[in-house]
Each structure stands twice: as C-alpha cells, then as structure tokens.
Amino acid sequence: MLKKALENVLSEKESEDLFSAFDQIGDIIIVRIPDSLLSKKKIIGETLLEQVKTAKSVFYQSSSVEGDFRTRDLEILAGVDKTETEYKEFGCRFIVDVEKAFFSPRLSTERDRIAELVQDGEIVINMFGGVGMFSIIAAKRKKCTVYNIDINPIAAKLCEKNIELNKLAGRVISIHGDAAQIIEEQLSDQGDRVLMLLPERSDEFLNSAILATKSNGIIHYYSHIHADEKSQAAKLSEKHYLDITPIKSKILNSKIVRAVGPRYYQTVVDVRITK
Ligand SMILES: C[S@@+](CC[C@H](N)C(=O)[O-])C[C@H]1O[C@@H](n2cnc3c(N)ncnc32)[C@H](O)[C@@H]1O
C-alpha cells in the first residue's frame, strides 16, 4: 500500500531501499533516507503520515546511533514534533523517547530470548539497561530482581516511569551512573546473570561484568563482529571472547542478534564463568 502511494515519487528500487530502513515505534515513524532520495524527504514523510493511520509523526534519522548515550539525531518530516511515545512489547508498556535515549524495536527477539533464559529467583544486572526494555520484560515473565544501570539520566528516568507503568517497583531497580563504578561500589559478586548490551565497548567493560557476576553465573557478552560469511559470525565472536577473557569460561551458546552493516553483525555469546 505504501509502495503504491509512493509509486509516482519513487522507482521500484528506491522504494525497496526505503522500506528496509523504516521503523514504527508507537505512533512515531523513523525513516533512514539514502542520500540520493534526500531531495524527496518531505513528500516521503507526508505520504507515510497520510497512509499509516496509526502514525502521528514521521522523522528522518539524520545521524547514525552515536556517542556515549547511543542516541541519534532526528528531523521532523511530517506531523507532530514530539519524540516521546508509548510502545508495547510482550504485554509490557514502555514510554520511550526515540531521540533522547537509545531504543530499538529490532532487539525484540533477543529480549524474548533473554526473558526465557532468566530463572525465578535470579539477580540480573543489566549494565547498559537504557529505558529498561530487557529488564522489565524479564521481570514481568520471571520472579527475578533486575538492576538496570544507565549513564544517560533521561534513560534512567524513563526506566523509573516504565517500572511504575508495569507495576514492578522493587523488582526492577533503575540506577543512574557508570556501570563500572556502580558495580565496584554496590554490586560486586551479586549477579546470577549479567547483560552487556553495549556491543561496541564490551571488551572495555568485561572486567566489570566479571566483577558483577557470581561464580557459576552467566554473562551475555554482545559484540560487533566482521565476518565474510554470515555462517561464521557466531563462531568468530566465541573465538574473540575466548581470546580476550581473563576468566575460566564455558561457552553455552552464541548467535547473531542482527546485521548491523555489510558483512558486520551484532552477536551474543552466553558464557558461564567460574571464579
Ligand atoms: C545500545 S544501548 C542499549 C540499551 C538497552 N539495553 C536496550 O536494549 O534498549 C546502550 C546503553 O548504554 C548506556 N551507557 C553507555 N555507557 C555507559 C556506562 N559507562 N555505564 C552505563 N550505561 C552506559 C547508554 O546510555 C545506552 O542507553
């Protein structure tokens, strides 16, 4: 339907490129537009807004996800200029701000996988927890306690709101600050399970993740891996982890989470460590 609506504006190939780079989050649409189509961005935005009845805003993503907070620049193309919205996933409700705090709807399969792995009674430390997506979905499904740490004050505040919205006070704890420092001061040897969702900097924070984890606890180590063959990416990330880890580790599983560029993948390695 959208392709049809844009058929006078875009060629078949152009519209294919466009729709592989388009996300709807609540009532907000975010579209990445190739340079060759930038002159048509207004009409693309207006058409999307007109056609997608559940959308109130269309933004163009004008930068990649960057900086310590892993945020992106957005430019309004059509509709209401507000970046906060409500998003629902696996029976949980979230207030997200698509510009001021990291959020990706494309990690939902991984959130489901982690929530299934968590066991009742566990203490989970989510080192780079953002607005609480992984933490809240896991705590809604299992009787665990989750520490959701984030250095971005807006992400930590939204996480507090989301804890309230999902009635998880005391089960998910939002902590604002640097994960390495918080772990050293309050959370060493506490975690049955530690999540490291800052793939670009996992190696730098691995010692903090190890400090946070109990002996026999599990670390979910995320990274970005270059692989010529997609089928090799998970094995390469296992090898990378084993090359750099200073601790006795048993690999439990590894997989591609998503493609992040040509021959470039976000992967996760699940490891049990022995201290
Ligand atoms: C890729 S995002 C993941 C967020 C969340 N886990 C999710 O999937 O929605 C990484 C997050 O780490 C946070 N961050 C970056 N450096 C940090 C640090 N040193 N300590 C704690 N959080 C940090 C960023 O603010 C960002 O929200």
User: CA angle, corner 128, sides to 127 and 133, nearest 5?
Assistant: 110
**Any atom of ligand 1 within 6 Å of the Cβ of 90:** no
How far apart (Å, rounded) are the C-alpha atoms in residues 163 and 69? 20
Which tens digits make up the pLDDT trace of 91-128? 999 999 999 999 999 999 999 999 999 999 999 999 99
Ligand 1 centroid, distance to 52 Cα (angstroms): 31
103 Cβ neighbours under 8 A, 6+ residues apart: 25, 87, 96, 97, 130, 131, 133
Predicted pLDDT at 19: 66
**Any atom of ligand 1 within 6 Å of the Cβ of 159:** no
> Where do you find CATH 3.40.50.150 in the chain?
104-274
CB 71 within 8 A of CB 101: yes
**Any atom of ligand 1 within 6 Å of the Cβ of 134:** yes
Predicted pLDDT at 37: 84
Assigned CATH for 104-274: 3.40.50.150
Predicted pLDDT at 59: 97
CB 224 within 8 A of CB 265: yes
**Any atom of ligand 1 within 6 Å of the Cβ of 156:** no
pTM, whole model, 2 decimals?
A: 0.95
Predicted pLDDT at 10: 81
**Any atom of ligand 1 within 6 Å of the Cβ of 149:** yes
Assigned CATH for 2-82: 3.30.300.110
Mean pLDDT of the chain: 95
Predicted pLDDT at 11: 81
How far apart (Å, rounded) are the C-alpha atoms in residues 132 and 95? 10
**Any atom of ligand 1 within 6 Å of the Cβ of 179:** yes
Q: How many CA atoms lie within 13 A of 268 on its CB side?
A: 19
| Closest residue CA from atom 1 of ligand 1 | 198
* C-alpha pair distances (Å), 243 with each of 47, 138, 203, 253, 254: 50, 30, 11, 16, 15
Predicted pLDDT at 1: 61
* C-alpha pair distances (Å), 156 with each of 51, 161, 175: 34, 9, 7
**Any atom of ligand 1 within 6 Å of the Cβ of 110:** no
| Closest residue CA from atom 6 of ligand 1 | 129
> Where do you find CATH 3.30.300.110 in the chain?
2-82
How far apart (Å, rounded) are the C-alpha atoms in residues 219 and 251? 10
Q: What is the DSSP string of 102-150?
A: ---GGGHHHHHHHHHH--TT-EEEETT-TTSHHHHHHHHHSS-EEEEEE
List the chain residues with pLDDT less than 70: 1-3, 19-21
Ligand 1 centroid, distance to 131 Cα (angstroms): 9
Which tens digits make up the pLDDT trace of 56-88? 999 999 999 999 999 999 999 999 999 999 999
CB 219 within 8 A of CB 194: yes
